[in-house]
Structure 1
Amino acid sequence: MIRSKLPPIIDCKDDQDSVTWTIEIAADLDFFSGHFPEQPVLPGVTQLDWAIKLGCKHFGYPVNVATLEVLKFQQLMLPNSRVELTISHNPAKAKLMFAYSDGDKRFASGRIALNSETTQVINSADSN
């Protein structure tokens, strides 16, 4: 896990198995420094870090990633933009599915497979 600061959250819409955050991608975020000088772009590793941290916290999973699946970066996320991060989860498979978007415009998406042994221990403890 990288040491990153979460972005400002403008709004949050919570559904039973999914949540959508509207986040502000301010130009003064440290992540833009040097990535890239001629056109700052939010690094994919930062996007992943935010999805993992926010998703795990919201759904009560430990931050213990096993693998990343079907990871796609479709468009560049630029400074001074507002995007939605939607995360849903599949507790039976210990997976989080995430997508960054702005309307029909998709920036990134993928699945985060969590370490199921750790997740099962926590879920079992919750049911007792």
Structure 2
Amino acid sequence: MIKSVLPKIISQQQDEKSITWRLFIDGSLPFFAGHFPEQAVLPGVSQLDWAVQLGCQAFGYNPSVKNVEVLKFQQLILPNTYVNLTISNNVDKAKITFQFAEEDRRFASGRIAFNAPALSD
């Protein structure tokens, strides 16, 4: 099993309910190894893991996921790609919504529900 590793964060923009990270998806990340031999692609499970990790850090959730809703993978993320990850918080429902995109290209999106509300400050 590959230890959870985040991609390189280039920048971050935040408002009251959402954060957008500019990420560089380096081709040397271990997730690309063997996925797939003809053309390396970033596994969807890695994208989901990054959304959980960054969403929990940003909004104070315990990373105990209740369920994943409306998960869609629209396009492949290839090695050495820049993408924006935007995560919005719905504290009343203990859910975050995420989207990996670059300009008008959407790579993945979904909603993650957590077992407990965000931790108090």
TM-score (norm 2): 0.95
Query: Which residue of the partner structure matches residue 44 of structure 2?
Result: 44
- Structure 1 residue matching 2:92: 3-state secondary structure: coil
Q: Where does structure 2 lack aligned partners over 5 or more consecutive residues?
A: none
Query: Which residue of the partner structure matches residue 70 of structure 2?
Result: 70
Query: Which residue of the partner structure matches residue 18 of structure 2?
Result: 18
| Matched letter for residue 44 of structure 2 | G
Q: Shift in Å at residue 119 of structure 1?
A: 1.9
Q: Shift in Å at residue 47 of structure 1?
A: 0.2
Q: Shift in Å at residue 113 of structure 1?
A: 0.5
CA RMSD of aligned residues (A): 1.2
Is 1:100 equivalent to 2:114 in the alignment?
no
Query: Which residue of the partner structure matches residue 6 of structure 1?
Result: 6
Larger Rg computed on CA atoms: 1
Runs of 4+ deviating beyond 4 Å: none
Distance 2:70 2:96 in 1: 12
For 1:119, which of 97, 117, 120 is the aligned residue? 117
Is 1:30 equivalent to 2:30 in the alignment?
yes
Q: What per-residue deviation string (whole Å, max 9, x for no partner) do you get for residues 17-46 of structure 1?
A: 000000001111110000001100000000
Q: Which structure features the higher share of helix residues? A: 1
TM-score (norm 1): 0.90
The alignment-based identity, stated in percent, is 57
- 1:81-96 correspondence to structure 2 within 5 Å: 81-96=81-96
Aligned length: 120
Distance 2:64 2:88 in 1: 17
Distance 2:77 2:97 in 1: 19
Q: Where does structure 1 lack aligned partners over 5 or more consecutive residues?
A: none
